[in-house]
Amino acid sequence: MLNENENILKNISIFEDTCDEDLDKIASEMKRRDLKAGELIFREGDPGDELYVIVKGGVSIFIIDKEGKEVVLSDIMAGNFFGEMSIIEQAPRSANCRVMPECAVKIMNKMLSITVKRLMNVGAFVTQMVQWGAESRKRAITDPATGLFNRRYLEDSFEGLVNRARTEGNSLSFVMFDMDRFGSLNTKYGQEFCDGLIVTSAQVFREVFSKDDILVRYGGDEFIFIFPGADAGSAQQKCDALCSAIRELRFPEHEELRLSCSMGFATMPHNASNADELKDRSDKALYRAKEEGRDRAVGFTG
C-alpha cells in the first residue's frame, strides 16, 4: 500500500509512470517543507542541488532587473515541479523563487482555465503570440544597422555562455575588434559612407566566421566575437582570416581606400577562468595589437 508521500508523487507528471517500488525509494529521500506565502525558497545564484515538487499552492519564479524591479518569469502550480535546470546544468540558480499567496493561486488557476479555452478555440492566436514574442526579443537584442547582436545581448548572455563552457569543459575565445583609424575615416569620407562601411564589414564577418560564432556590435566600429569551442590556435586562424578579408575590401567611390583592423583575444580556460578575466585580457591583447602597428590579431600572453 502506498504511503502519503508516494500518493503525492503519483499525481506529479514526471512520476506518473513510475512503479510503486521506485516510488517508495524516491519518497524515502524526500523532505517535506511547509512554507508561508511570500517566503523565499531560493535566490538567484544559490547552489542548485534540489528538485522541488509542489503539493499545494504555487510558487513564482522571478528575477530582479537592472532597475531593481521584480520581473516574474513564470508561476508554477500544484502538481508540478521546479528547480531541475540547476541540477541538469550543474549551475547556480538562475532566478529567485518564492511561495505565492493562496488567493493568487486561486486566481492563477482560474486564469489558466480561461486561457486554455481561448487557446483551444483560437489556434491562430498561439501562432501570432509566438511570432510576436520572438520578433520582439530579436529586436531587443539586435543591432538594426548590421543585423548582428547588440551590446544588450552581450550583457545578458555572456556569463551564461562562459558558465556553460566551463561546465562542459569546452574552450571559448573572446575577441575585441576595432577598425583601424575609424575616426579619421569619418572625418575624411563622411558619416554616411562610414555607416555603410560598417554594414559592409558586418557582412564580411558573416562570410568569414561560422554560423556557430557569435557576432556582436558593441558600439560604433567596435565589435565583439565569441567563438564557442575555439582554442587559441583556432581563434588566431579565424581572426587572421578576417584581417585578410578586411584588407581586400574595395569601394568604387573611393578607389584609394584601404582598410585594416586590429583584434585582441583571450581564450578560456588557457588565459582566463571567468567572464571578467576574458574581457580584461582581450582588451590588453587589443592594446598590444595597436602598439605593434595595427592590422593584426594578437592573443593574450602573460
Residue 153 CA to residue 216 CA, distance in Å, equals: 8
Burial of 274 (0-12, 13-18, 19+ CB in 10 A): middle
CA-CA distance, 87 to 265, in Å (whole number)?
A: 32
CA dist., res. 73 & res. 68, Å (int): 15
Q: What is the pLDDT of residue 275?
A: 94
Task: Let me know whether 48 and 125 are in one domain.
Answer: yes
Residue 29 and residue 99 in one domain: yes
- CA separation for the pair 249, 28 (Å, rounded): 68
Tell me whether residue 140 is in a domain: no
- Is residue 143 assigned to a domain? no
Residues 283/264, Cβ–Cβ less than 8 Å: yes
Q: Are residues 128 and 172 in the same domain?
A: no
In a domain, 146, yes or no: no
Do 130 and 219 belong to one domain? no
pLDDT, block means (10 residues), the chain with 302 residues: 59 69 74 83 74 80 72 75 59 65 58 55 47 58 92 90 92 97 95 95 96 94 96 97 98 95 97 95 97 97 84
pLDDT for residue 125: 44
| Residues 125 and 34 reside in one and the same domain | yes
- Report the pLDDT value the prediction gives residue 27, as an integer from 0 to 100: 73
Q: How many residues would you count in the chain?
A: 302
Look at residues 135, 166, 181 and tell me which one is the last residue of a structural domain. 135
CATH code, 240: 3.30.70.270
C-alpha cell at 2: 502506498
50 domain residue, yes or no: yes
pLDDT at 56: 81
Is residue 119 a part of any domain in this protein? yes
Q: Is the CB of residue 7 less than 8 Å from the CB of residue 15?
A: no
| CATH code for position 57 | 2.60.120.10
Do 174 and 279 share a domain, yes or no?
yes
pLDDT on residue 126:
45
Location of C-alpha cell 581606400: 257
User: Same domain for 184 and 244?
Assistant: yes
- DSSP secondary structure of 181-250: THHHHHHHH-HHHHHHHHHHHHHHHHHHS-TTSEEEEEETTEEEEEEET--HHHHHHHHHHHHHHHHT--
pLDDT of the residue at 88: 47
Same domain? For 239 and 271 the reply is yes
Domain ranges, residue 180: 151-299
CA distances 262 to 161, 216, 234, 258, 282, Å, are: 24, 16, 17, 14, 12
Same-domain status, 162 and 61: no
R_g over Cα of the chain: 26
The answer on 112 and 158 residing in a single domain is no
Within a domain: residue 158? yes
Q: What is the pTM (predicted TM-score) of this model?
A: 0.58
Say how many domains are in the chain.
Answer: 2
* Residue reference for cell 511570500: 38
